Amino acid sequence: MAGVYVHIPFCKKACTYCDFHFSTTFEAYREELILALLKEIVSRKAYLQEEVVETIYFGGGTPSLLTQGELTRILVAIQANFNCAPDMEVTLEANPDDIEQNMMTQWKTAGINRLSIGVQSFDDNDLKWMNRAHTSEESIRSIELAKQQGFLVTIDLIYGLPNVSNEEWKINLTKAVDLGLDHISAYCLTVEENTVLDVWTKKGKIARVPEEQQADQFDVLLDFLENQGYEQYEISNFARNNKYAKHNTNYWRGKTYIGIGPSAHSFNGEKRAWNVSNNQRYIKALQSGASCLEEEVLTPQDRFNELLMTGLRTKWGVNLLELERILPLEKAFIAYIDAAVNNLELIRDRNQIILTKKGRLRADKIARDLFVV
């Protein structure tokens, strides 16, 4: 099984924390970019080698700025050039302020069946600080409307924000749960280079949130959602009723995917490729028939570490036999695992290693410590 990711680099405004590739001035070349996406789909149709596509994901940026016609053209091109399953999960990232009755009817007609709504917070003060375009009231209304229309719905929330207490974070989670969501993604605020937040922290306008405070809110997240019947199936993702995100789950489990659009990444198990992170250069390359791709052949060490990093983030963990098929497992590697098991950070079930709740707090460090260099 494989997935298709389509990057839509359009946004109404820049969020303070965001380092994804996007542009707020795109109307002058909007149609050119859509045409370039369509050309890329055709030019790379052999990439998946007839693997069945079971998921399509429109990310960004803000894909909910696309019209029904634009979405339909892209989806028709994907279905014409790839071996698509009849019951695909087709996700659209959407901002609450873009979600209204007529638009959702259009999305359904185009073929969208799942919405990932960028709520980030149910507190208007937080939203203003983030420079979001919506209000908390719009978030609640958009979720209720999307559920009424039969979409699968997930939302994004951010924790570890400046001046947000554990109690205020719990209020955010309570509002999400009360809306009857079966899937919630929650991410810790990080200060990425060249963002507004990065500038603010360097100028001393705002202090970095202490790691201990962010760790406390991660604990609040785990305990609260577990008590509400959610399963943490990936470090930042929680589901009830087995409503896992198929597309992202395939990423974490090492399935093949192709990325279409500026800055989009692709992976086939042996190579990783990525498109240029510049809208005009992307368009010109597709118009002229030139490549807009860079790629690297993954070494055995790369593949070993990739499998380790992504697998440990999930409830399924990592199979040691799969790692051993790539590279022999050194004595120091096994010794580290044994120590982590004794420290209650890992569970070893025969050949499977899985992070415990305690281990999830240190997931990235544990993975790095196990990396082959």
Give exposure, 331-351, as e/b (b: 16+ Cβ within 10 Å): eebeeebeebeeeebbeeeee
Across residues 251-261, what is the average pLDDT? 94
**Helix, strand or coil, per DSSP, at residue 247:** helix
Both tokens assigned to 272: 């990783």
Report percent pLDDT > 70 for the chain: 100
pLDDT value at residue 326 = 96
Would you say residue 1 has pLDDT above 80? yes
Confidence band for 22, pLDDT divided at 50, 70 and 90: confident
For 96, 243, 274, 320, the CA distances from 102, given in Å and listed in that order, are 14, 26, 35, 50
Q: 212-234 pLDDT, tens per residue?
A: 999 999 999 999 999 999 999 99
Distance CA(184)–CA(157), nearest Å, equals: 8
* CA torsion angle 208 212 213 219 (round to 10): 140
Across residues 101-112, what is the average pLDDT? 94
Q: 163-189 pLDDT, tens per residue?
A: 899 999 999 999 999 999 999 999 999
Domain 300-370: CATH architecture, name and number where available: Orthogonal Bundle (1.10)
> 4-8, 144-148, 251-255 — which is least confidently predicted?
251-255
Q: 31-68 pLDDT, tens per residue?
A: 999 999 999 999 999 999 999 999 999 999 899 999 99
Would you say residue 207 has pLDDT above 90? no
Rg of the chain in Å (alpha carbons): 21
- Sequential DSSP letters for 40-101: HHHHTTTTTTTPEEEEEEEEES-GGGS-HHHHHHHHHHHHHHSEEEEEEEEEEEE-GGG--H
With residue 246 as reference, give the H or E element that holds it.
helix 246-252
Domain 2-252: CATH architecture, name and number where available: Alpha-Beta Barrel (3.20)
Backbone angles phi, psi at 207, to 5 degrees: -90, 145
The burial class, CB within 10 Å (0-12 / 13-18 / 19+), for 216 is middle
Would you say residue 335 has pLDDT above 80? yes
pLDDT value at residue 12 = 86
User: CB under 8 Å to 176, separation ≥6 — which residues?
Assistant: 119, 122, 155, 157, 184
pLDDT value at residue 196 = 85
Domain regions of the chain by residue span: 2-252, 300-370
Per the CB < 8 A criterion, the answer to whether 330 and 338 are in contact is no
Residue with tokens 């996700």: 91
One-letter amino acid identity for 34? I
**Average pLDDT over all residues of the chain:** 94
pLDDT value at residue 203 = 87
**pTM for this structure?**
0.94
pLDDT value at residue 195 = 86
Distance CA(158)–CA(164), nearest Å, equals: 11
- 3-state SS record for 311-341: HHCECCCEEHHHHHHHCCCCHHHHHHHHHHH
pLDDT value at residue 199 = 85
- How many Cα atoms are found within 13 Å in the side-chain-facing hemisphere of 271? 12
Across residues 297-326, what is the average pLDDT? 96
Would you say residue 26 has pLDDT above 90? no
In 98-205, DSSP assigns E strands to: 114-120, 152-159, 183-188
Distance CA(89)–CA(363), nearest Å, equals: 28
pLDDT value at residue 339 = 97
